[in-house]
Amino acid sequence: MDFGLTDDQREIQRTARELLLERAKPERVREHAESARMDSELWRELCELGWPGIAVAEEHGGQGLGCIELSILCEELGRSLAPVPFLPSAMAAAVIEHGGSPEQRERWLPSLASGETIGALGTAVDGISELVVGGADAQVIVLVEDDGSARVLSCDDAEVTPLASIDPTRSAARVSAQDSGEALADGCAGLGRALVAVSSELVGVCERALEMTVAYVKERKQFGVPVGAYQAVSHRCAQMLLETEKARSTAAFAAWTADADPARLAEAAAMAKASASEAGREVTAGAIQAHGGIGFTWEADVHWLYKRAQLDAVLLGGAKRHRARLAAILAEQLGASATA
């Protein structure tokens, strides 16, 4: 049993972190967020490095790596809040690759893998999705309905209305496509991987929020001592670590099952998203609180993490929805063992 990353995976993590520390500095993220536009220069660079195709099969122009590698990049991008459409595009690619027909894969995957085409994935009711993360930048959109059916469509075939979400590091749109697009053969097959991706991004957001908080409460003094010495503060930081580690362990497990034990992916992905959605909200809220008045100001960058966490927490369903899913899976397992 081994929870560690391979040398190659560690190398991907290290180079991603170094690149983003350099290219997605807080001031640069803020600048793009304030003008509500993606960082096209950084996106081009990531595309040249092959990031969008990391988990896409080589036959479709990707790097053919696994879900663990995908989750590593998502986590690093979550830490940095880089204003690029990586997550929505990678989620769309996963759903098309694992649930699409050969023609659909042929049509969309090579350009999603190269980054020429930007994708997005949203949940819809009767063809309407009120908020698709990344939807305003996307050329290809996948809409998943509650019943598990999914359709892939070009943005030209849909009514895409850009929205100003509270998280301007990424675009958003209302998408209406009642009669257009093509059905995917299996709308659910790639969904587990998409859930791993967003859960991993949330883990990265939590890590960064906790790091910023710990640094701040060590520095900030009141009554002559660092506020982090008070247990009211330090115990909340401990709670933030617990939430983060709970999310990290379940996300890592889900990433591993995707390629090694796919029969458990649906359950593992629901656990990961339920944990990560809760952790994202709790940890970033704790970060604002521990920063005190400063944490409530625009200048302190901690609010961008809170905003990203809010959007990610409900993306592809929030914690309650995934716990309902889990309860159904547990009931099925119980039924199966009763009849076995």
Say how far apart CA 185 and CA 90 lie, in whole Å. 19
Please report how close the Cβ of residue 253 comes to other proteins at its closest, in angstroms: 6
Q: For other proteins, which stretch binds (CB under 8 A), given 49-57, 104-112, 255-263, 295-303?
A: 255-263
Burial 10-42 (b: 16+ CB within 10 A, else e): eebbeebbebbeebbeeebbbebbeebebbeeb
Q: For other proteins, which stretch binds (CB under 8 A), given 88-96, 102-110, 222-230, 301-309?
A: 222-230
Residue 323 engages other proteins in binding (rule: CB under 8 A): yes
Residue 324 engages other proteins in binding (rule: CB under 8 A): yes
Please report how close the Cβ of residue 196 comes to other proteins at its closest, in angstroms: 13
Among 31, 229, 294, 297, binds other proteins (CB under 8 A): 229
Among 225, 263, 336, 340, binds other proteins (CB under 8 A): 225
Residue 241 engages other proteins in binding (rule: CB under 8 A): yes
Distances (CA, A) of 27 to 21, 35, 81, 211, 299: 11, 12, 11, 18, 10
Say how far apart CA 157 and CA 92 lie, in whole Å. 16
Please report how close the Cβ of residue 54 comes to other proteins at its closest, in angstroms: 16
Residue 68 engages other proteins in binding (rule: CB under 8 A): yes
Say how far apart CA 335 and CA 329 lie, in whole Å. 10
Q: Which is nearer to other proteins, 2 or 126 (CB)?
A: 2
Residue 252 engages other proteins in binding (rule: CB under 8 A): yes
Among 2, 126, 179, 299, binds other proteins (CB under 8 A): 2
Region of 235 please: left (phi>0), alpha (psi -120 to 50) or beta.
alpha
**Closest CA relative to residue 170, chosen from 196, 139, 135, 142:** 135
Please report how close the Cβ of residue 101 comes to other proteins at its closest, in angstroms: 31
Total of chain residues touching other proteins, rule CB under 8 A:
47
Q: How many Å from the N-terminal Cα to the C-terminal Cα in the chain? A: 29
CB 309, CB 208: distance < 8 Å: no
- Tell me the residue length of the chain: 340
Residue 266 engages other proteins in binding (rule: CB under 8 A): no
Cβ-based neighbour number of residue 123 at 10 Å: 19
Say how far apart CA 284 and CA 277 lie, in whole Å. 11
Residues 6+ apart with CB under 8 A from 109: 56, 57, 60, 61, 62, 93, 96, 97
Say how far apart CA 260 and CA 66 lie, in whole Å. 10
Backbone angles phi, psi at 162, to 5 degrees: -60, 145
Could you say which residues in the range 268-297 bind other proteins, by CB under 8 A?
271, 274-275
Among 51, 216, 256, 306, binds other proteins (CB under 8 A): 256
Among 41, 238, 296, 297, binds other proteins (CB under 8 A): 238
Please report how close the Cβ of residue 209 comes to other proteins at its closest, in angstroms: 13
Q: For other proteins, which stretch binds (CB under 8 A), given 11-19, 30-38, 130-138, 250-258?
A: 250-258
Among 18, 41, 218, 222, binds other proteins (CB under 8 A): 218
Please report how close the Cβ of residue 238 comes to other proteins at its closest, in angstroms: 4
Among 253, 280, 282, 311, binds other proteins (CB under 8 A): 253
**Closest CA relative to residue 295, chosen from 279, 310, 311, 306:** 306
- Binding interface with other proteins (CB under 8 A): 1-6, 68, 210, 214, 217-218, 225-226, 228-231, 234-235, 237-239, 241-242, 245-246, 249-250, 252-253, 255-256, 260-261, 271, 274-275, 320, 322-324, 326-328, 330-331, 334
